[in-house]
Structure 1
Amino acid sequence: MNSLSSHVLDTTTGKPAANMQISLTAPDGETVSSITNADGRCKEWGEITFVAGTYSLRFHCKEYLLNTHRESFYPHVDIAFDITENGGHYHVPLLISPYGFSSYRGS
């Protein structure tokens, strides 16, 4: 069974990005929204079953960056990734600052 989590870290402050909205789009086009907790983590995706296919996470970072840094080059960050059949747990972190971001497959 596949599962998905995410974590947003603010590389400028060195702290988690709490209360950031994240939208997940499944291969069939279904979209659900969630929000990062106080530790910048998110693993609640409603009733989505993670079948094989291409997914997309949209991190709505503008409000967070404006509130925290008073500036934001990015209104949002989209990360597309593939989930394979029986791929296990997928963790997609986002490292964000007002003028840069990075991601990788975490554990």
Structure 2
Amino acid sequence: MNECTVSSHVLNAVEGRPAAGVRLTLLREGEDGGYEAIHSAVTDADGRVSGWGTVPGRHRLRFDTGAWFAARGASTFYPEVEIAFTAAEGHSHVPLLLSPFAYSTYRGS
């Protein structure tokens, strides 16, 4: 099976800056339909996690937003954000725009 990569970028939409220190976990769907964690990291100073290697197919990116807001003395309605997507051959970029009471995502490049 061909390889692909997945990356992400988290932006703090309240301050208009990168969200450094957000824990992300990449999960991949198995043959039984369940998901297994295959990578985990924390966003760097620019709010980024660089390309993780995986295989094409269904994945989920889980963002630990509750811990990130709590570390800043804030609360959030969303203790975690999980985005389901299908990774294709090549590269998939999954950005997250984050605030305490809303989030948005799109297919990045």
Q: Same fold (TM over 0.5)?
A: yes
Whether the 8 Å contact between 1:34 and 1:44 is mirrored in structure 2 is: no
What stretches of structure 2 of length at least 5 have no aligned partner?
none
The corresponding residue for 1:99 is 101
- Select the structure that is richer in strand: 2
Q: How many residues align?
A: 102
What stretches of structure 1 of length at least 5 have no aligned partner?
none
From 39, 42, 46, the equivalent of 2:49 is 42
Find out whether 1:27 has 2:29 as its counterpart: yes
Q: Which segment is superposed worse, 34-43 or 69-78?
A: 69-78
Q: Compute the RMSD of aligned alpha carbons.
A: 1.5
Q: Deviations over 1:27-73 (max 9, x none)?
A: 2233121110011000254xxx4222110000001121233361211
| TM-score between both structures, scaled by the size of structure 2 | 0.85
Q: Could you say if the C-alpha distance between residues 51 and 44 of structure 1 is closer, same or farther in structure 2, counting changes exceeding 3 Å?
A: closer
Runs of 4+ aligned residues of structure 1 deviating over 6 Å after TM superposition are: none
| TM-score between both structures, scaled by the size of structure 1 | 0.86
Percent identity of paired positions between Structure 1 and Structure 2 = 43
From 57, 64, 68, the equivalent of 1:64 is 68
